[in-house]
Amino acid sequence: MAPYVTSWSAEYDLPCALVERPDRSIGHATELPGDRDRQGVLWKQVASHRGQGRPEFGKVHPLRQRRAMERLLCQVCGNPADQNSDGVLWLQVDHHDDWPGWPERMASTEPPICRPCAALSTRLCPALRRSGASAVRVREFPIVGVRGALYRPGALAPIAAQAGNFAYGDPALRRVQASALLRELRGCIREF
């Protein structure tokens, strides 16, 4: 079985047109109730057909990623992530050579994980075996922004200009179509 947040081949971008709104923000021509988060940020419309077709490992389904991050669900099984007095468990690719103090204050798009799935993932996931991963207990993990595509005005419709991470409160968010939620990891303790 594929991880909870993994996209499947039957899950495709919905054919929705992006439009300029009168306030110079972007929107979907026909917005659905879940198209914006609590901060008013526009989210990518993607079909949800989990388990149909083939798993597309390495491609994350935006709405399941968002749900797992908001509710602190395990990114692999979709059940509650492991939590104890030291914090919530996260499995992160080890970047301690690139990031002084890694993973402290790092923004992560990876949802937390439960203990059984952490052990299974480090054993079975080729990407984690290749790059190395560490289990980290995190005491504070505020939602700080989104990863997505920034759009500039175009002659007929908004045009994708650049992808990146955008903090809540950034004025550019009015022109971003989000694909992942970001949490900042604080109070980190390496577990294994």
R_g over Cα of the chain = 17
| pLDDT at res. 192 | 72
H or E stretch at 164: strand 159-167
- Considering the entire predicted model, what is its pTM? 0.91
| pLDDT at res. 58 | 86
Q: Tens-digit pLDDT profile for the chain (192 aa)?
A: 799 999 999 999 888 899 999 999 999 998 888 899 999 999 999 999 999 999 998 899 999 999 999 999 999 999 999 999 999 999 988 777 777 888 999 999 999 999 999 988 888 777 777 777 889 999 999 999 999 999 999 888 999 999 999 999 999 999 999 999 999 999 999 887
Question: Given phi > 0 = left and psi -120 to 50 = alpha, else beta, which region is 67?
Answer: alpha
| pLDDT at res. 155 | 87
The C-alpha angle 174, 176, 179, rounded to 5 degrees, equals: 140
Report CA-CA distances (Å) from 25 to 9, 14, 54, 150.
31, 20, 36, 11
